[in-house]
Amino acid sequence: MDATNFASRTIFAKGWINSILGAIHIAGAFTFEKAHYASVGTPDMRRDYLVWFWGVGVFILFSGILDLICVRGLRDRSNLAWRIALFSALSIGLFGTFGVIIYGIAPPLVLSITGAAATLVLVGTRKVF
């Protein structure tokens, strides 16, 4: 398997994982998170928290969609696709790492792992692009 194929498959997997996680996060803002915090704090605090929770899901989904868009460019050895995929990997990895520090291992660890793995693969294949 050549480097571009390996990089594109890795980014494809990261894109799907993050897209699914983002969609779950967005749906969760209106279901289980809303129910969990129904009686906590003031109505304004609950609304702001749910908007923030939804926004995090949008960011994760956007990162996943960017990855899926970049797959073809990576196969074609596009430097722009490589840069976008690297930016997405670094940002989602950092986002997940801060999430682990603040909220614990549970959900954000997946973002840290996918971000770190994609970053390593992309940096390792830089000479090809």
Give the separation between CA 113 and CA 14, rounded to whole angstroms. 10
Exposure string for 41-58, b = 16+ CB within 10 A, e = fewer: eeeeebeebbeebbebbe
Q: Report the pLDDT value the prediction gives residue 103, as an integer from 0 to 100.
A: 87
What total of structural domains would you count in the chain? 1
pLDDT digits (tens, 9 = 90+) for 90-126: 999 999 999 999 988 877 999 999 999 999 999 999 8
Q: Report the pLDDT value the prediction gives residue 118, as an integer from 0 to 100.
A: 96
Looking at per-residue pLDDT, the higher value among 100 and 35 belongs to 100
The mean of the pLDDT values for the chain is 91
Check: CB of residue 118 under 8 Å from CB of residue 11. Answer: yes
Q: Give the residue-averaged pLDDT of 37-43.
A: 79
Give the structural domain span for 110: 3-128
Check: CB of residue 99 under 8 Å from CB of residue 62. Answer: no
